[in-house]
Structure 1
Amino acid sequence: MPRTARACAPAALLSLVLLLAGCGNSTLTSPDASGGLLAHRADLRAASYVVGGGPTTALRLLCQMTIAAVQAANGTAEDECGKVAAVDVHGSPQESDVDTGWASLRTTMPDGTPAPDGQLPPTATPLATLRATDAPRGVAWLDPTAFDGADVVVTRPGVAADLPALAALTATRPTTLCATTDAVPGSPVAPGTAALLAGYRFAPTVVPQDAGSVLAGVATGRCTAGLVPGESGRVPALGLAVLADPRGVLVGPAGPRGFAPVMRQGVLAGHPGVADLFGEITRRLDGPAMRGMVREVEVDGRDPRDVARRWLVAEGLVAKA
């Protein structure tokens, strides 16, 4: 080989390595999250967690938040966000290695697992009942998010400021409520509408539809208002307004239906401080924050990992993500 060729070979080889590292499904990842408030809330050195997610965008976002939170507190976390945490945590360690994750209290059955096909159970299971049922099984439930997970009524801006004002429209003009057929239980026609009638005397013409059709109908004016899941990312994407529910009729007598961390009791006992990390997240995560992040993923096409970490940094929970 000529001298010049031998001299160029190492440089060419290095260039090829760098090129291959940037192509395909590289195993290289960005640095772990660090710093911020969570770094001072718990010391998870030597702690390791396998974190599960769920089938929905909201649960995948929460899974990614958990991973970043653990890393910020000097622990390690393995990404299993494709698994349904509530199912895997309830399985035996021989069946699943998932230690922790989140569950939607809206769709959780009394046995602590998600309702089949994501459908709502006839009545929401109170958190206290889930804790009492799962404690003998070695499963712990922590406090849920500030976002209560209830369905919301949305309108175009300027139609009404809150549900009492919307109900007043019923007496003055024809009003149409488009509602998802799996909304809060209450009515065989469109679940949830019975609660609005009882709480606000809101008695519109009800048109049951899928969530996408409901939101499109409200945005175009075909529907005066829409009853949709509270975490819907298309609500901010379409510029719709969420109406205040001052009487809390959509939350229902069972109380909050938000998202709660669920984990194996042995894992929690090993490092109880991890509950403080979850607490910092759940106290801050309200409806607008959840809808905004879901919008970024479902409408803008962004990676749940990046979206979750940006929110943590914006809240000061993590300094570097």
Structure 2
Amino acid sequence: MPQRATSLALAAVTAVTILPLSGCFGGDSVEAASGSGDALKGASFTVGSKDFAEQIILGRMTVDLLKANGAKVTDKTNIKGSASTRKALVSGDISMYWEYTGTGWITYLKHTKPIADQRGQFEKVAAEDLAKNSIAWIDPPAPLNNTYAFAVRKDKADALGLKSLSDLAALSRSKPSEATFCIESEFSTRDDGFPGLLKAYGIKAPGAQVKMLDTGLIYTETAKGKTCNFGEVFATDGRIPANKLVVLEDDKKFFPVYQPALTLKKGTLEKYPALKKIFAPLAEKLTTFEMQKLNALADVEGEDPEDIATSWLEDNGFLK
């Protein structure tokens, strides 16, 4: 899910806050951890995730990698909602889960303006969450960006000459009947959602032209083009290419960067610094394109996220 200080100030914050966990957050290169180690022998963890395909896949990858490195693991993936999952981490009900930088910055750290630079966004979130809440974010985050976006049928985009959200804003004024939207109820009220988007771009969207739908329906209804022409989507969702949709460029960089990173309590990472070496190579391989393919296996092909996760880890040399 989202993107948007001065370098010296950022470096100072990062150095003060993150470097004490030198073995955990360092920028050293690491080799892929295979499934035959005992780096975590005797350790016990409970892994959580939110309740959609990408999160469950990431959670199951985490379960498999921890077990492969000797840990005992309790699986509590598929927790309903971001707030409940974060609360489970803070309370100690789970040991770790993958969270998104944009969600951390806006929802948990209460900032209203995202940071456009991806690396800057991660470093700010990691430093502040560590300092304020003793929550550590394993560095690096995955390069994928599961940001909010708006998609439209490719043929419709071509016919109307649409490539960006600024183009959509112009369309909403010149041909208002074409500017119809399908969005989720949560997106309709978020600071980084629909109200802010309309203001930032000057998009005209009368209530009658906005339909509230469940996530899955947004993709299919946008593809049909009857309920709406423009659907709120997530950039890594495999249903975008499956439904022959194209994503409009966020040319004003309104949406935050949403890079996932494994989050856990500071004390857990200090006690088990091997977690950095185990999970950094995994994160580095998770591009937007790669995650789209994995999400499509779940959301389009109907495969089990647990099987998707294990097969991908085996294919990429993380399990033996």
- TM bracket, shorter-chain basis: 0.5 to 0.7
Matched with 2:250 is: 245
Counterpart contact for 1:123–1:185, Cα < 8 Å? no
> Unaligned stretches of 5+ in structure 2?
1-30, 80-84, 115-123
Letter in 1 for 2:137: W
Q: 1:36-79: CA deviations, max 9, x gaps?
A: 82239x9725253423223412322111111233345x333414
Q: Verify: 1:318 aligned to 2:318, yes or no.
A: yes
Q: 1: CA distance between counterparts of 2:254 and 2:107?
A: 26
Q: Which amino acid aligns with 1:242?
A: V
Aligned to 2:298: 297
1:38 is paired with a residue of what secondary structure?
coil
Taking the TM superposition and a 5 Å limit, the aligned residue runs for 1:124-135 are: 127=125, 128-135=127-134
Residue 192 of structure 1 corresponds to 194
- The question of 1:175 aligning with 2:172 is answered no
Deviations 1:99-131 (A, max 9, x none): 322234555598959xxxxxxx89589624322
Name the stretch that deviates more: 212-221 or 78-87. 78-87
Q: Secondary structure at the match of 2:60?
A: helix
- 1:78 aligned onto 2:73: yes
| SS in structure 1 of the partner of residue 147 of structure 2 | coil
TM-score of the superposed pair, with normalisation by structure 2: 0.65
Distance 1:217 1:268, change over 3 A: same
2:56 maps to 1:60: yes
Q: Do residues 91 (structure 1) and 91 (structure 2) align?
A: yes
The answer to whether the 8 Å contact 2:165/2:250 transfers is yes
Mapped contact 1:52–1:79 kept (Cα < 8 A): yes
Residues 150-229 of structure 1 aligned to structure 2 (within 5 Å): 150-158=147-155, 159=157, 160-170=162-172, 172-173=174-175, 174-183=178-187, 191-195=193-197, 197-199=199-201, 201-204=202-205, 206-210=209-213, 211-222=215-226, 223-229=228-234
Distance 1:212 1:106 in 2: 22
- The answer as to whether partners of 2:40 and 2:274 remain within 8 angstroms in 1 is no
1:69 corresponds in structure 2 to 65
Aligned equivalent of 1:101, options 97, 100, 105: 97
Worse-superposed segment, 152-161 or 232-241:
232-241
Q: CA deviation at 1:219?
A: 0.7
Q: Report deviation, 1:168.
A: 4.7
Is 2:259 the counterpart of 1:258? yes
Q: Which residue of 2 aligns with 1:234?
A: 239
User: Aligned-pair distance for 1:152?
Assistant: 1.0
Q: For the residues of structure 2 that align with 1:290 and 1:234, how far apart are their CA atoms? A: 12
For residues 267 and 212 of structure 1, do their structure 2 counterparts lie closer, same or farther at Cα, with a shift above 3 Å needed? Answer: closer
Residue pairs, 1:2-151, within 5 angstroms: 37-39=32-34, 44-46=39-41, 48-57=43-52, 58-72=54-68, 74-82=69-77, 84=79, 86-92=86-92, 96=93, 98-105=94-101, 123=112, 127=125, 128-135=127-134, 139-143=135-139, 144-151=141-148
Instruction: Give SS of 1:140's match.
Output: strand
Q: Report the secondary structure of 2:221's partner residue.
A: helix
Return the alpha-carbon distance in structure 1 between the equivalents of residues 204 and 285 of structure 2. Answer: 34
Higher helix share: 2
Cα offset, 1:154, TM superposition: 0.7
Instruction: State the aligned residue count.
Output: 261
Rate the CA distance shift 1:175–1:233 in 2: closer, same or farther, 3 A.
same
> Where does the alignment leave 5 or more consecutive residues of structure 1 unmatched?
1-35, 114-120
Could you tell me whether the CA contact under 8 Å between 1:150 and 1:250 is conserved in 2?
A: yes
Mapped partners of 1:156, 1:111: distance in 2? 31
Q: State the SS of the aligned residue for 1:39.
A: coil
TM-score between both structures, scaled by the size of structure 1: 0.65
Aligned mates of 1:297, 1:168 — CA distance in 2: 36
Aligned amino acid, residue 260 of structure 1: A
Residue 155 of structure 1: how far off its partner (Å): 1.0
For 2:250, what is the secondary structure of its paired residue?
coil
- Report the Cα distance in structure 2 between the residues aligned to 1:162 and 1:281, rounded to whole angstroms: 32
Q: CA separation of 1:299/1:262 partners in 2, compared to 1, >3 Å: closer, same or farther?
A: same
Deviations along 1:265-288, whole A, 9 cap, x unmatched? 333123313123332233332334
Moved more, 63-72 or 190-199: 190-199
Alpha-carbon separation, structure 2, partners of 1:110 and 1:162: 24
